[in-house]
Amino acid sequence: MYKANEPLELTLLYHLNSPPPGGHTKQVPATEMRYMPEAPIRELPAVPSDNYLTNLLRKRHSVRDFQNTQMPLIDLAQLLDAACGINGLRQVEGYAYEGRNAPSAGGLFPIELFVSTRAVSDLSDGLYHYEPRHHGLHWVNESTPQDFVTPLLQQDYIANANALLILTGVFMRSLCKYSTRGYRFILLEAGHQAENICLMAVELGLGSLCIGGFHDMSVNHILGIDGQRHAALYCLAVGSEATAIP
């Protein structure tokens, strides 16, 4: 058991003690979960149907059946850039910060992005680390999405995905400034980047699946990270959605 004497120790107290559940608790009826169910409702104007972002949001859904097909390398590049690509510099109170496609508390960018690929044009299958400052890939090892099926709790529908993106957190980047509150910021930032990936997938005509259930130690081992100062937080599978057979 970890003691909570320092920010990293308190972070690990929660992080390492929140594995996938071994069972299910009793489901609470939806009517009991509503907030202020008896309060009067003030209706809002209808959302315009020609709003581009609204249409992307409506098309986004979880895909659990991917086609065994090839993904153009440009599509992968756009997915990675959407998550955390650099889009310029920002001047804030006399300091220069990188402007990225997802917000980060204090401009500290604790999230790192790995991608395991299969059948991406002009790219060898395997595991890569994305470097946003050069918009390029570092080779890590030969692990493809199939190698993550068991660590991802036997979710074998990811095997035909072209890309399995894994968002990881380097905890002390945020904790050094925001102490234990920094852990919350890291989780929020993983969510920001994941939503960007999902929306870019829709824009490219691809399907996506967000995955939060996995064996931490197994995923961290494949990535080659220690799981304590640097750990996996969130996974997303992306590929072409299989066409339903009538």
Give 159 or 90, the one with higher predicted confidence: 159
Out of 3.40.109.10, 3.40.50.720, 1.20.140.10, 3.40.309.10, the CATH code matching 7-15+56-239 is 3.40.109.10
If you average pLDDT over residues 161-188, what whole number do you get? Answer: 97
Q: Is 108 helix (H, G, I), strand (E, B) or coil?
A: coil
Using a pLDDT cut of 90, give the percent of the chain over it. Answer: 76
Among the ranges given (28-37, 71-80, 103-112, 133-142), the one the predictor scored with the smallest mean pLDDT: 28-37
If you average pLDDT over residues 33-47, what whole number do you get? Answer: 85
pLDDT at 185 over 70: yes
pLDDT at 39 over 80: yes
Rounded to an integer, what distance in angstroms lies between the CA atom of residue 50 and that of residue 85?
A: 27
pLDDT at 4 over 60: no
The pLDDT, as a whole number, for residue 179 is 94
157, amino acid identity: Y
The pLDDT, as a whole number, for residue 155 is 93
The pLDDT, as a whole number, for residue 5 is 64
Rounded to an integer, what distance in angstroms lies between the CA atom of residue 106 and that of residue 199?
A: 25
If you average pLDDT over residues 119-130, what whole number do you get? Answer: 98
The pLDDT, as a whole number, for residue 246 is 40
If you average pLDDT over residues 59-63, what whole number do you get? Answer: 94
Q: Is 164 helix (H, G, I), strand (E, B) or coil?
A: strand
pLDDT at 198 over 80: yes
Q: Where are the domains of the chain?
A: 7-15+56-239
Tokens, residue 105: 């508390």
Nearest CA to 125 out of 106, 140, 110, 105 is that of 140
97, amino acid identity: Y
Rounded to an integer, what distance in angstroms lies between the CA atom of residue 72 and that of residue 152?
A: 25
Q: What is the CA angle 62-111-173, rounded to 5?
A: 155
pLDDT at 245 over 90: no
Q: Tens digit of pLDDT for each residue in 139-153?
A: 999 999 999 999 999
The pLDDT, as a whole number, for residue 244 is 52
pLDDT at 225 over 70: yes
Among the ranges given (30-34, 85-89, 195-199), the one the predictor scored with the smallest mean pLDDT: 30-34
Rounded to an integer, what distance in angstroms lies between the CA atom of residue 112 and that of residue 128?
A: 11
| Residue 101 · residue 113 · CB < 8 Å | no
- This prediction has a pTM of 0.91
Among the ranges given (36-40, 186-190, 199-203, 231-235), the one the predictor scored with the smallest mean pLDDT: 36-40
Q: Do the bridges between strand 86-92 and strand 95-100 make them parallel or antiparallel, or are there none, so unpaired?
A: antiparallel
